[in-house]
Structure 1
């Protein structure tokens, strides 16, 4: 019984946490980071102030959690970083997962918040870069390094290759959304963008047998 109560309390706490981060993201977009108070977030999330402050003592801590959770929502998936052995399959899996991640409205909203508030709150940009983008890109870099070590890829600079690969996908899936209000590419077009990025990577980094 005690274990069931503990599990129930954990579920409730997680539901409240998700309600808080969702409400905060919406309010940051609507009112700006500076124009949104923790009290207003608690009201929108339908939780008490004490519940919010217990999980997030400051607005910066709340934004940090939004960034981390947005970028790491598939971190528990064992397929998040494919094993070395098949460069095409690995890049395809990573590419589709990345396209799905950055294609979510939540992620586009996060970028809009950072871009809008960057002049007044440069720490938001540092959080997005250091806690979100860089760890994610580093995981792709490590995958490419593992393929290189296994002899399945010719990647002299895995960091640069990871940036190029993910950049090709983001250039189609994410960045137009920052400028075009109606940008919503079809699933088939997103798949094609990923496949083209994989094809480019294979042309550049797949090991070639000697003639």
Structure 2
């Protein structure tokens, strides 16, 4: 019987399958950017990745399934982390803010948005996949966390959707969106930490039940 600290060690075949999966996703991303989603075939992706067509089709039977996997893996957090427990909104939002900045800082994330934006007129389903499998689930995790803090009495929020959008926007508007528009835009780890910290402080100043917002409500 496995103990609480035991980890399942992947078999050789599982490791090989994961390596090939990574090669396929990397090749697909590059080709979608170079040639466009429509003009890229699964056969070309298999060739670029250096795997057989059978191997690719076994994991991804269609381009749509492949793109869905790109979205899901780009937005995945380590070990499917759950939102922090309610009780301390500064600590909790700090965790969520750092996690969000890490997601947005992944190289594949910017590529994913570039593909969606470029293909939106002809393939709106890609944008749907991006939001339904990626951004929306993460947004919902932040929303649920803020609702839990509201119910715990640590914050007073009338519009949770707006509050979650405000918090995430304070981070993404500095660390992510300029990467799509400003050539050479880079943000150091120290600057990212500062951006997240200031977003948390600003949010707490507005919504914390013991802060200025609470005094205004009385």
Is TM (by shorter chain) over 0.5?
A: yes
For 1:149 and 1:18, the matched residues in 2 are separated by 42
Which of 125, 132, 146 aligns to 2:134? It is 132
Which of 191, 194, 208 aligns to 2:193? It is 191
Residue 161 of structure 1 and its aligned partner are, at CA, apart by 1.0
Verify: 1:121 aligned to 2:123, yes or no. Answer: yes
Residues 202 and 62 from structure 1, CA distance in 2 versus in 1: closer, same or farther, beyond 3 angstroms?
same
Give TM-score, length-normalised by structure 1: 0.91
Which of 191, 200, 203 aligns to 1:201? It is 203
For 2:53 and 2:27, the matched residues in 1 are separated by 14
Verify: 1:62 aligned to 2:86, yes or no. Answer: no
- Which residue of 2 is the match for residue 19 of structure 1? 23
* Structure 1 residues 1-211: aligned runs within 5 Å: 7-74=11-78, 76-78=79-81, 80-208=82-210
Residue 5 of structure 1 and its aligned partner are, at CA, apart by 11
Query: What's the C-alpha RMSD, in Å, of the aligned pairs?
Result: 1.9
Residues 6 and 148 from structure 1, CA distance in 2 versus in 1: closer, same or farther, beyond 3 angstroms?
closer
- Which residue of 1 is the match for residue 4 of structure 2? none
Aligned pair count? 206
Residue 77 of structure 1 and its aligned partner are, at CA, apart by 4.5
Cα offsets for 1:105-142 (capped at 9, x unmatched): 11001000100111111111111111111111000001
For 1:37 and 1:55, the matched residues in 2 are separated by 15
Give TM-score, length-normalised by structure 2: 0.89
For 2:85 and 2:14, the matched residues in 1 are separated by 32
Cα offsets for 1:2-60 (capped at 9, x unmatched): xx998222222122111111111111112211121111111111111001011111111
Residue 73 of structure 1 and its aligned partner are, at CA, apart by 3.5
For 2:36 and 2:185, the matched residues in 1 are separated by 23
For 1:26 and 1:149, the matched residues in 2 are separated by 45
Runs of 4+ aligned structure 1 residues displaced above 3 Å come to none
Where in structure 1 are there 5+ consecutive unaligned residues?
Answer: none
